[in-house]
Amino acid sequence: MPASIPRHVAIIMDGNGRWAKQRGKIRTEGHLEGAKSITRMLEAAGNAGVEYITVYAFSTENWKRPPAEVSFLMNLIPKFCKDKLPELMKNGIRLRVIGRIDGLPKAAQEALKNACEKSAANNKLTFTIALNYGGRAEIIDAVNTILADKNRPADQKVTEEEFRNYLYAPDIPDPDLLIRTGGEKRISNFLLWELSYAELYVTDVLWPDFDEAEFQKALAAFGSRQRRFGEVKP
């Protein structure tokens, strides 16, 4: 058991396409398998006592993918919500979403709204899906909401504490650990503000192969890190 458990784990679920290619399958088969991996990971997170999980499922840049892949992922959202809801309810998992949700197809928006509402009182684990999400977009959206906020004096300087309140999910604590599967060593426009002090863990394991044992390895790596938050510690 690792010494300290991250309260919030963020995940860049990369490698679905490569997983499919290695098996002579089409890329979308990898996304289907990736959706199964989410179930396994939520169970592992719940068992470990992690309170928040945030996954990057579709970025503001992912619209540039081939149209068939984009529409597959968009159609997968309502199916994912419907299929996962019983399991969310059984395991006390609350679903939330972040991103420019109004840019998603209507069926996806409605299914997400329904699953978020139905699971709103669950309090064991909060599972947030980032959809049509970009870290820069989130910051720009926050800036524009501040500019449009008639209740704050226009000449009042913005502090970090105030700015945070304008992010998509201000009540969710910043991630302590970022896991990226698929081996690439970059943040890819994910949670740019929130990841400031997160520990980074990159594994070559492809997302569909990421299981409880791999999750435990990431937790063990986190447990061995010394977090200094810019201070000097003995």
Per CB under 6 A, 34 contacts ligand FPP = yes
Q: Is 14 a catalytic residue?
A: yes
Nearer to ligand FPP, 57 or 205 (CB): 57
Query: Smallest distance, Å, CB 224 to ligand FPP?
Result: 28
Based on CB atoms, which residue is closest to ligand FPP, 82 or 124?
82
Which amino acid is it at 31?
H
In angstroms, the CA 62 to CA 77 distance is 15
Is 16 a residue that touches ligand FPP (CB under 6 A)?
yes
Is 204 among the catalytic positions? no
HSE (CB half, 13 Å, CA atoms) of 119? 28
How far apart (Å, rounded) are the C-alpha atoms in residues 121 and 112? 15
Catalytic residue, chosen from 16, 62, 75, 171, is 62
Q: Does 13 bind ligand FPP (CB under 6 A)?
A: yes
Q: How far is CA 94 from the centre of its chain?
A: 13
Task: Name the nearest CA neighbour of 56 among 192, 176, 212, 172.
Answer: 192
Looking at 15, 99, 134, 135, which residue binds ligand FPP (CB under 6 A)?
15
Rounded to an integer, what distance in angstroms lies between the CA atom of residue 137 and that of residue 143? 10
Residues 157-196 within binding reach of ligand FPP (CB under 6 A): 182
Contacts to ligand FPP by CB under 6 A:
13-18, 31, 34-35, 57-58, 62, 73, 76-77, 80, 182, 207
